[in-house]
Amino acid sequence: MDSLQRDRFELLSAYIDGEVTAAERYQVQELLSEDPNMQRLYTRLMKLRQGLQQLPVPTRETTAPETAEQVFSKIDRRRSRKAFIWGGAAVAALFVSAVSGVFSGGGRSLLPQLAQSPQPEVTSEPLMISANQPVIEIPKTAVPDSERLRPSSNER
């Protein structure tokens, strides 16, 4: 479809809808009286318009608030169903863990345990403190000969 045909189609469509100026209306009427292609197009567009006007308009069975309420109730049902499923899964997991604990071999638990270090034995031996007489002999330090011969600072 070239631009001239497209312009004529749009002009004719606007004419049928009553959206043209007086000058455009005169132009379309002249085209309809002279051009057989334009006449056929006009006839087809009018049949299409009448067919569209005769289509039944569906009536609303529910109002907008009722529809919104139905949507939200459906969402709530889905949420509660998911919560029920998760709750059931948790109960099943608890049951499986309890059963596996009862039937585990040798009375050993499958739960991890912390390592325990052995506690040293505490003997009740009294603590002895001796201030004047030590329990162990404390060796005396050796004094070099040079220090023994040197007079002390008090003697000078």
The reply to whether 14 and 43 lie within a common domain is yes
Q: Is residue 115 part of a domain?
A: no
pLDDT band at 43 (very low <50, low <70, confident <90, very high): very high
The reply to whether 50 and 69 lie within a common domain is no
Q: Quick one: 10 exposed, middle or buried, by C-beta within 10 A (0-12, 13-18, 19+)? A: exposed
- Mean pLDDT, rounded, for 76-101: 78
Q: Is residue 79 part of a domain?
A: yes
Angle at 26 (CA atoms; ends 21, 30), nearest 5 degrees: 145
pLDDT of residue 24: 92
Q: Is residue 10 part of a domain?
A: yes
Q: Is residue 132 part of a domain?
A: no
pLDDT of residue 29: 92
The reply to whether 10 and 47 lie within a common domain is yes
Q: Give pLDDT tens digits for 98-153.
A: 777 655 555 555 566 677 777 777 667 666 666 677 667 777 777 666 665 655 55
Which residues, in sequence order, are CB contacts of 45 under 8 Å at separation 6+? Answer: 12, 13, 16
Q: Is residue 30 part of a domain?
A: yes
pLDDT of residue 65: 83
Q: Give pLDDT tens digits for 10-40.
A: 999 999 998 999 999 999 999 999 999 899 9
The reply to whether 90 and 47 lie within a common domain is no
- Which of 68-72, 81-85, 89-93 shows the highest mean pLDDT? 68-72
Q: Is residue 87 part of a domain?
A: yes
Query: Domain range spanning residue 11?
Result: 3-54
Q: Is residue 122 part of a domain?
A: no
Q: Is residue 23 part of a domain?
A: yes
pTM across the whole model: 0.38
Cα–Cα distance list, 93 to 55, 87, 101, 111 (Å):
59, 10, 12, 15
The reply to whether 69 and 33 lie within a common domain is no
pLDDT band at 72 (very low <50, low <70, confident <90, very high): confident
Which residues, in sequence order, are CB contacts of 70 under 8 Å at separation 6+? Answer: 62
The reply to whether 74 and 43 lie within a common domain is no
The reply to whether 9 and 34 lie within a common domain is yes
Question: Contacts from 70-73 at CB under 8 Å and sequence distance 24+?
Answer: none
The reply to whether 48 and 7 lie within a common domain is yes
Task: Work out how many domains the chain is built from and give that number.
Answer: 2
The reply to whether 8 and 45 lie within a common domain is yes
The reply to whether 80 and 38 lie within a common domain is no
